[in-house]
């Protein structure tokens, strides 16, 4: 649908004042915003979004006059500059999804953006597993939990957010999630509200509303993946481990997996990598650990993804044996109702 490369402009006159509504929709995500305007005559038209954006950004004055003329051509005037661009009939634009049924809940933009950052990297890129192509969003008692997994790793973030009455969790697609985070991180005023219907997620902030289609599918029972008890718990300096992994992955034999080996002994963790064509590398870092020695392989990229999105000074790494997944959690008290857990499957090296 070529018209989806356009934005819909609707100039309205009403009791609430004259407004210009700008909407964009790609059949998955729709964003609409309203702006105060002086409307001499109500009307609507669809214009190519890239050209319109480039023109408006380059205009010499702060104000702009838009006039729809015959055959949906639009004249844009600002100061001495004048543009005449080709438009399309507003009636040809697909109807923007309505989501009045969504029960909106006020959310803290910083907390929600942080939860997205801590989970989005674990979303599966495998299009055949569409139920893993997003983040699972569910309401627990007085809190919200977001979970992503690609089958090799899992990331779970939980924050105390009240008000969501979801019978079951929903799966928010990657694309919608990234757009949501972009809107959350904007420094525009207004409260942030989030809500869900059976098929859509709705976000509202000030005059901007976003509606996104949810993924229709069943998210796997992620609690089955998280080991209940760990035989060994290692406490390690997070920045130190992150830097070590960056160095060790330079010589990993498979750059796609960045395989590294952990050799754990009392008070020490040795990280090694090897490449038959280049050589090998090893680095030893001090850790807080008392227990039996263990050797286990991991994808360094997966570990680094977790360590980079956390700001805790120390991490707890929980391990059972060389065939069981490793569990990473920030050391220390995360606060009431907040938690973070990452699960990473081991590799045979």
Percent of the chain with pLDDT over 90: 78
Each residue of 225-276: pLDDT tens digit? 898 888 899 999 999 999 999 999 888 766 666 899 999 999 999 999 988 8
Q: How far is CA 70 from CA 36, 73, 78, 84, 170, in A?
A: 25, 6, 20, 11, 46
| Beta-carbon-side half-sphere exposure of residue 157 (alpha carbons within 13 Å) | 20
Question: Which of 5-14, 87-96, 208-217, 327-336 has the weakest average pLDDT?
Answer: 327-336
Same domain? For 38 and 114 the reply is no
In a domain, 278, yes or no: yes
pLDDT above 80 for 342: yes
In a domain, 268, yes or no: yes
Same domain? For 250 and 316 the reply is yes
Same domain? For 82 and 110 the reply is no
What pLDDT was estimated at residue 336?
A: 65
Looking at 67, 92, 117, the residue that finishes a domain is 92
Looking at 223, 251, 284, the residue that finishes a domain is 223
Mean per-residue pLDDT, 294-311 = 95
Each residue of 122-155: pLDDT tens digit? 999 998 999 999 999 999 888 999 999 999 999 9
Same domain? For 24 and 131 the reply is no
Same domain? For 169 and 144 the reply is yes
Same domain? For 171 and 115 the reply is yes
What pLDDT was estimated at residue 230?
A: 85
SS3 119: helix
Same domain? For 332 and 238 the reply is yes
Give the span between the Cα atoms of 151 and 155, in whole angstroms: 11
What pLDDT was estimated at residue 52?
A: 95
Q: Please state whether beta strands 73-78 and 294-299 pair in parallel, antiparallel, or not at all (unpaired).
A: unpaired
DSSP 63-86: --EEEE-GGGEEEEEETTEEEEEE
In a domain, 100, yes or no: no
Question: Which of 4-8, 75-79, 162-166, 203-207 has the weakest average pLDDT?
Answer: 162-166
Same domain? For 26 and 68 the reply is yes
In a domain, 284, yes or no: yes
What pLDDT was estimated at residue 149?
A: 97
Q: How far is CA 248 from CA 117, 203, 299, in A?
A: 25, 42, 11
Each residue of 1-10: pLDDT tens digit? 899 999 999 9
Model confidence band, residue 102 (pLDDT cutoffs 50, 70, 90):
confident
In a domain, 31, yes or no: yes
What is the count of structural domains for the chain? 3
- Comparing 256 with 313, which gets the higher pLDDT? 313
Each residue of 157-193: pLDDT tens digit? 999 998 998 888 999 999 999 999 999 998 777 789 9
Q: Which CATH number is 146's domain given?
A: 3.10.150.10
In a domain, 243, yes or no: yes
Same domain? For 230 and 277 the reply is yes
What pLDDT was estimated at residue 83?
A: 96
Q: 121 near 309, Cβ under 8 Å?
A: yes
In a domain, 98, yes or no: no
Mean per-residue pLDDT, 335-343 = 84
What pLDDT was estimated at residue 255?
A: 65
In the chain the first and final C-alpha atoms are separated, in Å, by 49
Same domain? For 197 and 115 the reply is yes
Which residue has 């979303």 as its token pair? 123
Distance of CA 314 to the CA centre of its chain: 25
Each residue of 108-124: pLDDT tens digit? 999 999 999 999 999 99
In a domain, 97, yes or no: no
266 CB neighbour count, 10 Å cutoff:
10
Give the span between the Cα atoms of 161 and 65, in whole angstroms: 44
Same domain? For 73 and 148 the reply is no
What pLDDT was estimated at residue 133?
A: 95
The overall average pLDDT reported for the chain is 92
Same domain? For 247 and 318 the reply is yes
Residues spanned by the domain of 76 = 2-92
Percent of the chain with pLDDT over 70: 97
């Amino acid at each position: 649908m070529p018209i989806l490369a356009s934005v819909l402009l609707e100039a309205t006159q009403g009791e609430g004042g004259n407004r210009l509504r700008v909407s964009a929709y790609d059949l998955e995500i729709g964003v609409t915003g309203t702006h105060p305007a002086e409307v001499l005559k109500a009307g609507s038209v669809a214009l190519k979004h890239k050209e319109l954006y480039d023109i408006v950004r380059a205009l010499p004055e702060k104000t702009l006059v838009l006039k729809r003329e015959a055959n949906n051509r639009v004249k844009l005037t600002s100061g001495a500059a004048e543009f005449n661009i080709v438009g399309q009939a507003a009636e040809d634009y697909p109807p923007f999804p309505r989501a009045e049924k969504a029960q909106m809940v006020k959310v803290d933009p910083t907390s929600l953006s942080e939860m997205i950052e801590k989970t989005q990297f674990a979303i599966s890129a495998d299009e055949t597993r569409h139920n893993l192509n997003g983040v699972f969003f569910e309401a627990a008692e007085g809190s919200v939990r977001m979970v992503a997994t690609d089958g090799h790793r899992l990331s779970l973030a939980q924050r105390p957010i009240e008000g969501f009455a979801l019978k079951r969790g929903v799966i928010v697609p990657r694309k919608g999630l990234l757009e949501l985070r972009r809107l959350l991180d904007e420094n525009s005023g207004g409260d942030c509200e989030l809500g869900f219907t059976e098929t859509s997620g709705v976000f509202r902030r000030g005059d901007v509303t976003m509606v996104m289609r949810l993924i229709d599918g069943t998210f796997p029972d992620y609690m089955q993946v998280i080991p209940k008890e760990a035989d060994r718990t290692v406490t390690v300096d997070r920045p130190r481990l992150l830097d070590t992994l960056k160095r060790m992955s330079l010589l990993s034999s498979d750059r796609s997996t960045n395989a590294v080996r952990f050799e754990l002994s009392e008070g020490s963790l040795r990280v090694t990598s090897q490449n038959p064509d280049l050589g090998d590398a090893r680095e030893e870092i001090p850790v807080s650990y008392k227990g039996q020695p263990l050797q286990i392989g991991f994808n360094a990229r997966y570990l680094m993804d977790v360590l980079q999105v956390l700001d805790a000074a120390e991490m707890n790494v929980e391990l059972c044996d060389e065939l069981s997944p490793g569990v990473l959690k920030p050391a220390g008290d995360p606060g009431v109702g907040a938690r973070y857990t990452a699960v990473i499957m081991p590799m045979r090296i």
